[in-house]
Amino acid sequence: MLRSRFLLLYIILTLLTIIIVANVDRLLEEKPKVVVVLKDLDTEYWNIVKAGAQKGFRNFGLEGKVVAPSYEAEEDNQENLLKNILKENPDLLIVSPLNSEIVPILDKFYENNIPVLLLDTDDPWENKTAYIGTNNIELGRIGGMLLASQLQPGNEVALISGDINHPISGDRIKGAKISLEAVGVNIVTKAVDLPNYSGHVKEVMEEILEEHPNIKGVFADTDIKALGVYEAIEEFNLNVLVIGADGINKMIELIEEGHLSGTVAQNPYDMGYISVEMAKKVLSGETVERNIDTGVDIIIKGNATQRLAFQRELLR
């Protein structure tokens, strides 16, 4: 009888040991969960950001996913997407905010001890852990410098922009003005609050060319707008310099072919990758810088082919 009891006790202890070891192994293998919320996944820019983030997940041992609003229905907007992610209780959130209206939801993440990193688009929200992205004043300044380097003092130029009160468009135009005015280039007109749609920008640019036929150059706050400017200039058969920003493939192709002289580019792949690297550091208890600049590249004919090949490979 005593022997049977010892045998039963041995079996129970063995089973408990197996259960404990299995749970410890599971806990050790469980990776921190990170969610990246982008503005969309319909454009090549954001898909390059996604590629960088996914590479970061693999390299830094994190369980992660990249999502974005679909805009097909009201319930799919960024605000509602973030509400649903909050219910999942991730260990950390990386988000590119469409606007400041999502800040109350970000506060909920903060209240639940979920660190929040802002990506690509900064916001003065005081509870962010860090911002990872471009210094857009510097991007505009470099873009303006690139344009000015091909002009003469007194030459006339136009500035093309989206919402001038938005931190991205506003800062890029501010930076371009600094460079252009510093060398005496004359900004004769600005078209602002334009949608990021080349067809509409083309129509606006045609009106500008009719009113200002002596324009020698244009700085646009995005490459998509720059493409609309280029289409209008081609239609008028004019020799006008066009500088855009972002480094999308179509723009780089025109540079490679010699139709355009250059553009200034963010580093979306680095943005995605570095944001996940910072997430890993935060989750490991490290302190990270509050503002992390991912830099600006100048793309001209000499380096266009290499950049284009890199981005095409990412988008395959």
pLDDT tens for residues 290-314?
Answer: 999 999 999 999 999 999 999 999 9
Residues 120 and 85 in one domain: yes
pLDDT at 30: 83
Q: Which pLDDT value is given to residue 55?
A: 97
Same domain for 150 and 103: no
Locate tokens 């999308």: which residue?
248
The model's pTM is 0.84
Residue 4 class from Cβ within 10 Å (0-12 exposed, 13-18 middle, 19+ buried)?
A: exposed
Hey, what's the torsion of the CAs at 154, 157, 163, 165, to 10 degrees?
Answer: -10
308 inside domain: no
**Does 11 reside within a domain?**
no
Domain that holds residue 61: 33-134+270-294
The CA distance from 215 to 209, in Å, is 7
pLDDT at position 138 over 60: yes
Tokens linked to 136: 């857009």
Shared-domain flag, residues 48 and 126: yes
**Strand pairing partners for 130?**
117
Give ∠ CA 118-266-128 in degrees, rounded to 5. Answer: 10
In this structure, the answer to whether residues 89 and 160 fall within a common structural domain is no
Residues 201, 230, single domain; the answer is yes
Residue 42 structure tokens: 């319909």
